[in-house]
Structure 1
Amino acid sequence: MKKTAFFVWLSCFTATAQPPVQQPLTLWYKQPASQWVEALPIGNGRLGGMVFGGVETDHIQFNEETLWTGEPREYQREGAAQYLPQIRRLLAEGKQAEAEKLAQEKFMGRQSNEADYEARKTAWFTSVRKLENLKANPASASFDDRSWKTLPVPTAEGWERVGMEGLDGAVWFRTSFELPQAWAGKDVVLDLGRIRDQDFTYLNGELIGSDEGIAKNRRYKIPAGKLRTGKNQLAIQVINWFDKGGFIGVKTNQPTFVVYPEGQQPADGISLKKPFRYWIQDDTPPAMPRYQADYQPFGDLWLRFKNAKKPLHYRRELDLKTALSRVTFSSNGVQFAREYLASAPDQVIAVHLTASRPGKISFEATLDSPHKQSSVRTIDNQTIALSVQVQNGALKGESLLQIQTQKGRISVSGNKLVVSGADEATLYLTAGTNFKNYKDVSGDPAILSQKPLQTAITKRFDALKTAHINDFQSYFNTLSLDLGHTASEQLPTDERLQHFEKSPDPALLALYVQYGRYLLISSSRPGTRPANLQGIWNDLLTPPWGSKYTTNINFQMNYWPAEMLNLSACHEPMFAATDELVESGRKTAKAHYNARGWVLHHNTDLWRGTAPINASNHGIWVSGGAWVSRHLWEHYRYTQDRNFLQNRAYPVLKEAARFFVDFLVKDPKTGWLISSPSNSPEHLGLVAGPTMDHQIIRDLFKNCIAASEILGTDAAFRDTLKTMYGQIAPNQIGKRGQLQEWLTDIDDPNDHHRHVSHLWGVHPGTDITWDETPDLMKAARQSLRERGDEGTGWSLAWKINFWARFRDGNHAYNMVKLLFRPAISPEGVTGGGSYPNLFDAHPPFQIDGNFGGASGIGEMLLQSQGKTIDLLPALPTDIPTGSIHGICASGGFVLNIRWQNGTLSSVEVTSKAGQPCTLRYGTKEVQLTTEKGKTYRLSGELKGI
């Protein structure tokens, strides 16, 4: 169709159509949370809390963003670069195993506590095995274990979930089983499943088996001669060096944790799943070397209420419009209400308790922490303090809790604050650590907890609440979304998840998008650290994957919604962290590759580690820095902030590109420039020339070239990038019409790996588009079909974005259904999906799926990755009518879009930078010449109104 150019503008303030009346944006439930993934998150970017809302016992588990393990240190391994040519040569010769072995031994980054660890480990192990200073042997059949505590076993998520948080070391377990007379004279099999990390298993005082390693199933044969008819005593010494210890079972179709006659089925045996007696022999093993640090919980606030009866009309909710969590119920004719918030202006978590009758607020408040080195002390009759010290780390923290009441009495009992007969009560909770920056831990945690408290307690709760809401809404109210309404909208949130697949509930998509925006505002504010793998919410000392920043997709996915969903300011913490990563990444680039510029591998943490980590088959991935750099370019594209481009974005882009100028090598077979060594994230090991790397590097070079042209600088460097750009190994289509993941055509059509890394060029990149490379788009779509729809939570979210870019709204909507699939069923945890509190389930919880899912729904409604702004490019038939106000497009545009019966009805475009604008809807296209600050209103036919 012929393009039509016209100039029409309307005042933003007079002619812009008013957004529809917003529907309630609330997560709500009829019962308190019984587990962490049912609790409701609150946060101010620095402090995070999880609200359980119990009636008799309420619980707020809380975090402070800078409490991590580890300490400032150097992560790069000096001299690693001397092994780079040999690793490359081995890969070129097809000797992957040899390359991985050499890289593991010589090329990985430095770990903490490396020096003399093996000697310290051996000495400690020898001591606990000798049972020094013990009066009796716990392995003995006659040992008296009646004073020992009990613990349910097995514990699939490790013993930290059943009261042994942070425990490493040597622990003894004892139980017994009755051998039936019918089994006399038969050998039996003892199946204990998997154990972390090492076990020494005794029967009737005799060692019958020992093994080490989580991957090994402990299945020990016991000869008949070692068994007794009747009672047989089992004793197991478990050695756990780090992480989730104990008996974690195994996923099989046959029962585990059972004893049964050899030759028969485990189902015919005697189950050992019951409480075992246990005793902690020694919980001070030497600190295990770690490549990177873990994000830590801070503590727990407990409220225990007197005379709490069975509640009526209970409701627990999270209001996304005000960032307030509430609990309401009635008991004994009294209406009770609690409000919870995490205030950014006042830097406190506050809890406000009220009742419909005077004098009815009575409770005890306590603080505690899972950290072994923690203590609570009384400050005065209204205030208690919690002090924590991270084990084997440099960071310590202090939290203060003060209570203010109207009438009633506050007293101290031990380290508890006791409130009796109050009309109202407000609790103020603060926390701080000694962290100042990634190189400096000289801060004073007491000051960081005292100053906010001193200010907050001078205000009435209503004033603090108003300031909190106003601050939060300055971010949140920039976007509204209405996707239609059904009866399902009236259900509690957990029930909506259960019904979503079969009952239409388009409003749940709108709620999910706004929940993603709420989580980003609550975990990433200017001046804070960026959102990590769990945002700022974590209750475990050994959280999944350290709850750090996984930079081969997860860290970046956290920020996919930032620009498009009108939360540009929330992007700032990522940029601030990137500035620090550039500093440490320079050292890694030099030490590991003898290259200029900066590099970031598979992960980073609070201390800004950038070196290869974990294992050479996945930890040597060189494109993290290039991908992170893209976010600065995207911020420029959306904001058109030239000052930001010149002073923040371009220097980062240039140094990232400079690294690859030095790093790329010629493939001896094709002559292309390739990335070697690297990997296609977490898939098939260390390789030369993964497709994803080349897409990211091309994108980096293209963006760096464009930035230098805009700024009129570095012409010679720009020419170098242009020359190399055309020499990088291209995307290739394989024998089944699929996009190849590697240089050679080895893709397996039955491969359903969670990472779909070679489709990076489709999303979030622009290496492959319908407008410029339609054949590659078809190949990418074929790859995604082969990879399948199933996946972990964040993988499902990524696939929503892919199908939106493929302009297949109905398939994208089907992926939303999978993302909304309840992760907790009556039978237990299933695959990827959503927890009752809408947290993304990998499983376990990873927040990237929340952000990626919100981005994907946005991509269905608007895309601006190319030269045009595409309106409703992937609108599903299940969302025939709706509107979105405040969605952003590259070029500095904010749009309001309405559609009805599956067809665009109107669009308004506000120009923030006065750039040319090309709108496209289906086959219709129009060009606008815009002025900064002006708004342009068009019909569904893209004609001016």
Structure 2
Amino acid sequence: MKFNLFFALFAALLFAGCTNATPPKQELVLWHDSPAQVWEQTLPLGNGRIGMMPDGGIDAEKIVLNDITMWSGSKDPEALNPEAIDYLPKIRQLLLEGKNLEAQEMMYQHFRCQGQGSAFGNGKDAPYGCFQMVGNLNIKYDYPAKTNAEDYRFSLDLNDALAHTSFTKGGVNYAREYYVSHSEDVMFIRLSADKKQSIHFNLGLSRPERTEVFIKDNALYMKGQLNDGRNDNKGVRYVTKVQLINKGGEMAAQNNELSVSDANEVLIMISTATDMLDANYETTVEKRIADVLNTNYNTLRKNHVNAYQEKFHRVELNLGQQNNTLTTNTRLKQFQNQDDPSFAALYFQYGRYLMICGTNENSMPLNLQGLWANTVQTPWNGDYHLNINVQMNYWPAEVCNLSELHKPLIDFTKSLVPSGTATAETFYGADGWVAHVITNPWLFTAPAEHASWGATNTGGAWLCEHLWEHYAFTQDKDYLKSIYPTLAGASEFFLTNMIAEPKNGWLVTAPSSSPENGFFLPGSRDAVYVCMGPTMDVQIITELFTNTLEAAKILGLEDETTHNIRETLPKLPPMQVSPKGYLQEWLEDYEETDVHHRHVSHLYGLYPSNQISPERTPELAEAARQTLERRGDGGTGWSRAWKVNFWARLLDGNRAYKLLKSLLQPAIGDAVLMDGSGSGTYPNLFCAHPPFQIDGNFGGTAGIAEMLIQSHDGFIELLPAIPDEWATGNYKGLKVRGGAEVSATWQNNRLQNAEILASTDNTFRLKVPAGIASVKIDGKTAEIKDGFVTLEMKQDQKTVLKFE
């Protein structure tokens, strides 16, 4: 379908006039040639606090509004179960006797939170709560001509975080522009036409429940209060305000709607907030609108674009010219059968876009939905799952040069400590702090309502991996000092809670589980989940202990915690390889209830951790490879994303690329089943669990970065897992551990040049790729020793490398 020349020239001139940023090297656009028919075709916009998703409808448009603090529920002191600890010795004794099924039944009855917990993912009206949509902005358009629309285009430009709808109807060219300001914290929609007095519409706000809509001073309001789970009228309160500025024509307010007729142009401004983090939320909403009312639109737009691009333009990835003559959905479908490396680059940058727009330094962490939900009962409550999902959301943060966006998760982790301390004492009689599988803004840390998935107690320890990674990339010792108590407290829980298993005397967690897979005991076909010392627990604890010791060493600390860690580390179980060649998931080589289970938790040591490495532990790396072959390439969306990272760490770029294509399998039309048959990617490139979960998007972006650069093994490796399809390309601005920014160029699968910019004083080791005879550093031939070159760099020093 042809694209209207008027709008192409109009957009180009408008962009040139509204930003001083360097023109992007790649046109990064998602677009469709028809309006969205389902929510998973709408386009996400946001600034990390608030968001919207327009559907681009011609006669009627629904724009879903979001606020990352729009949570029902409240703090739930009943979650602590003081009777649970009375059953802990009995549960452990049953596990020591190999009676896992009996231990599991006891846990189902007694070793769980009190109350409803998460209400099995339906917590909208439970104390646990649920992340919810704010509501819908509903616009009904009227046109003088009743002809069909032509030259329709609905698009999202990643380079400037602007969405557009354009079409021709009755000889009039209509255009809409949408954005959520990164500078003014207000949502904007501008309606325009190239013929005067052509804009006519009615506008209203709606929400399925708990809302009041009214008109005040020619502005439209929606306000209400969410359920706190106890009907105590103490839930989160919210307010949304819509105000219009029209050029020409008339505006009226009646029947709780705003209407405009015969206008030349209209600017719709939306401000929304809750009292979760802002006691003055109503004043805030009014002030944000007042602050922009008298500001020129082009100035507002320019401020937004510049603020957004400061983060987005830090990184470039070029794998070939973008083919934007095809709709995004067409490219998604064709990607399965045709080479389109640039589509992978688009998907990579879309993940970075979603992070920049889904969270900010002073906001809440990205949840299962990121920022974007379209219901009041979001799937799985849209909460924070700590057995991979919220962590996967932040895998790209450091390597993709968005380090400051790690802050919400880091701050949230530290905020869990008081609750986690009470949980450790109440359930285990242990020191330190612990978090299990699920949590929320109300800091829920208890074992959840069902032990089959809620028993895992390494959720908080996994979060601590992110605390360490932020230091590893930034080398900020003041920051490290601030997080050390959190690392030490998490370590203290395991130091005082693990027990010796009977066979080898290894110290293990008990009870626990391997998310979310079960096994069969010998001679039984009853599914068992509760166990001692699953492999993932051991890997996470090993990493936590190691990082805590390293932090203490850097900070010059020596205390009882570090002493106990040194004594305990050698007593942890080793990773075990089954006689069949794969890495064991449990202490015993049990038969899985599902050999193709979506979780591959026992490969945590391969990724995101660095305990399994083809370089250092080739036997374990081969066992990991056999595990992946056995598990298969299927699974839910986020599971496929995790496997991209696994195969990249195993340095198999072609297999990683195969999993990337699997992740990008079109999801619309498939059954929405938990077995993964509906998994893949939706037309707006959201990841399908199914249904939508944003973690797969971030996992996929991290996986592509892992194919391009790695630094977890104590050295920098460029292009460690490049697939054959990416024979030529370049990237700019990816980050490495040790504190540096790296750019690289390659042709015909051969590294040509690289540039390293140090962000701190440090010494970097760079692995020389196979087939490279010499390396020039700043024009001088470098010494290659054991396959590495060494770079001693000062902060802000830039080094250029040429590979020959």
Q: TM-score, normalised by structure 1?
A: 0.77
Aligned partner (choices 659, 674, 684) of residue 508 of structure 2: 674
Deviation digits for residues 898-928 of structure 1, max 9, x if unmatched?
Answer: 1100010111001110110001133442111
Q: Is the 1:111–1:289 Cα contact (8 Å) retained in structure 2?
A: no
Asked whether 1:413 is paired with 2:254, we answer yes
Name the SS for the 2:762 alignment partner.
coil
Q: Is the 2:117–2:449 Cα contact (8 Å) retained in structure 1?
A: no
User: Structure 1 residues 359 and 37, CA, compared in 2 at 3 Å: closer, same or farther?
Assistant: same
Asked whether 1:48 is paired with 2:51, we answer yes
Map of 2:703 onto structure 1:
856
Map of 2:165 onto structure 1:
327
Name the SS for the 1:313 alignment partner.
strand
User: Which structure ranks higher in relative contact order (CA pairs < 8 Å, sequence separation ≥ 6)?
Assistant: 1
Deviation digits for residues 80-135 of structure 1, max 9, x if unmatched?
Answer: 22221111111122222221222122221132699xxxxxxxxxxxxxxxxxxxxx
In 2, the alpha carbon distance for the partners of 1:460 and 1:615 equals 55
Asked whether 1:587 is paired with 2:417, we answer no
1:713-862 residue pairs with structure 2 within 5 A? 713-748=557-592, 751-825=595-669, 830-862=677-709
Displacement, 1:445? 3.7
Map of 2:496 onto structure 1:
662
Map of 1:927 onto structure 2:
790
Asked whether 1:301 is paired with 2:137, we answer yes
Asked whether 1:91 is paired with 2:95, we answer yes
Q: Is the 2:56–2:154 Cα contact (8 Å) retained in structure 1?
A: yes
AA aligned to 1:72 is: K
Displacement, 1:389? 2.4
Map of 2:381 onto structure 1:
546
Asked whether 1:375 is paired with 2:224, we answer no
1:370-769 residue pairs with structure 2 within 5 A? 370-371=208-209, 373-381=210-218, 383-391=219-227, 393=229, 394-436=235-277, 443-485=279-321, 488-647=323-482, 649-684=483-518, 685-748=529-592, 751-769=595-613
Asked whether 1:22 is paired with 2:7, we answer no
In 2, the alpha carbon distance for the partners of 1:838 and 1:318 equals 12
Map of 2:800 onto structure 1:
937
Name the SS for the 2:452 alignment partner.
coil
Displacement, 1:408? 1.5
In 1, the alpha carbon distance for the partners of 2:391 and 2:351 equals 14
User: Structure 1 residues 537 and 827, CA, compared in 2 at 3 Å: closer, same or farther?
Assistant: closer
In 1, the alpha carbon distance for the partners of 2:670 and 2:611 equals 44
User: Structure 1 residues 489 and 785, CA, compared in 2 at 3 Å: closer, same or farther?
Assistant: farther
Map of 1:224 onto structure 2:
none
| Bigger mean CA offset, 676-685 vs 845-854 | 676-685
Map of 2:523 onto structure 1:
none
Q: Is the 2:472–2:739 Cα contact (8 Å) retained in structure 1?
A: yes
How many residues are treated as equivalent by the alignment?
Answer: 747
Name the SS for the 1:822 alignment partner.
coil
AA aligned to 1:405 is: N
Q: Is the 1:701–1:725 Cα contact (8 Å) retained in structure 2?
A: yes
Aligned partner (choices 139, 153, 157) of residue 315 of structure 1: 153
Aligned partner (choices 76, 87, 105) of residue 101 of structure 1: 105
Q: Is the 2:432–2:493 Cα contact (8 Å) retained in structure 1?
A: yes
AA aligned to 1:475 is: K
In 2, the alpha carbon distance for the partners of 1:529 and 1:560 equals 17
Please identify which structure carries the higher helix content.
2
Map of 2:114 onto structure 1:
110
Q: Is the 2:606–2:612 Cα contact (8 Å) retained in structure 1?
A: yes
Displacement, 1:464? 1.4
Q: TM-score, normalised by structure 2?
A: 0.90
Deviation digits for residues 629-658 of structure 1, max 9, x if unmatched?
Answer: 1101100010111110011x2121111111
| Bigger mean CA offset, 743-752 vs 408-417 | 743-752
AA aligned to 2:349 is: Q
AA aligned to 1:641 is: D
Name the SS for the 1:464 alignment partner.
helix
Structure 1 stretches of 5 or more lacking a match? 1-17, 115-240, 245-286, 438-442
Deviation digits for residues 530-570 of structure 1, max 9, x if unmatched?
Answer: 00001010112222111111110000000000000000011
| Bigger mean CA offset, 287-296 vs 62-71 | 287-296
Asked whether 1:362 is paired with 2:196, we answer no
Map of 2:733 onto structure 1:
886
In 1, the alpha carbon distance for the partners of 2:348 and 2:567 equals 42
Deviation digits for residues 837-886 of structure 1, max 9, x if unmatched?
Answer: 00000110000000000000000010011111111110100100001100
Displacement, 1:715? 4.3
Please identify which structure carries the higher strand content.
1
Displacement, 1:749? 10
User: Structure 1 residues 81 and 309, CA, compared in 2 at 3 Å: closer, same or farther?
Assistant: farther
Asked whether 1:59 is paired with 2:62, we answer yes
* Identical-residue share of aligned pairs (%): 39
AA aligned to 1:376 is: V
Asked whether 1:31 is paired with 2:34, we answer yes
In 2, the alpha carbon distance for the partners of 1:800 and 1:350 equals 37
In 1, the alpha carbon distance for the partners of 2:587 and 2:275 equals 48
AA aligned to 1:498 is: K
Displacement, 1:388? 2.5
Map of 2:80 onto structure 1:
76
User: Structure 1 residues 113 and 822, CA, compared in 2 at 3 Å: closer, same or farther?
Assistant: closer
Q: Is the 1:376–1:386 Cα contact (8 Å) retained in structure 2?
A: yes
Map of 1:908 onto structure 2:
755
In 2, the alpha carbon distance for the partners of 1:292 and 1:846 equals 20
Name the SS for the 2:109 alignment partner.
helix
User: Structure 1 residues 749 and 802, CA, compared in 2 at 3 Å: closer, same or farther?
Assistant: farther
Name the SS for the 2:106 alignment partner.
helix
Displacement, 1:431? 1.1
Q: Is the 2:237–2:274 Cα contact (8 Å) retained in structure 1?
A: yes
Displacement, 1:731? 0.1
In 2, the alpha carbon distance for the partners of 1:939 and 1:670 equals 52
Name the SS for the 1:321 alignment partner.
coil
In 1, the alpha carbon distance for the partners of 2:96 and 2:50 equals 49
| Bigger mean CA offset, 43-52 vs 96-105 | 96-105
In 1, the alpha carbon distance for the partners of 2:734 and 2:166 equals 35
Q: Is the 1:679–1:686 Cα contact (8 Å) retained in structure 2?
A: yes
In 1, the alpha carbon distance for the partners of 2:695 and 2:533 equals 27
Displacement, 1:19? 11
In 2, the alpha carbon distance for the partners of 1:93 and 1:19 equals 67
In 2, the alpha carbon distance for the partners of 1:541 and 1:447 equals 25
In 1, the alpha carbon distance for the partners of 2:267 and 2:255 equals 21
Displacement, 1:480? 0.6
Displacement, 1:387? 1.3
Deviation digits for residues 640-678 of structure 1, max 9, x if unmatched?
Answer: 11110011x212111111111111111112101111111
Q: Is the 1:113–1:288 Cα contact (8 Å) retained in structure 2?
A: no
| Bigger mean CA offset, 833-842 vs 582-591 | 582-591
**RMSD of the alignment, in Å?**
2.0
Name the SS for the 1:837 alignment partner.
coil
Name the SS for the 1:617 alignment partner.
helix
Name the SS for the 2:513 alignment partner.
strand
In 2, the alpha carbon distance for the partners of 1:906 and 1:298 equals 49
Q: Is the 1:406–1:423 Cα contact (8 Å) retained in structure 2?
A: yes
Displacement, 1:433? 1.5
1:216-295 residue pairs with structure 2 within 5 A? 290=126, 292-295=128-131
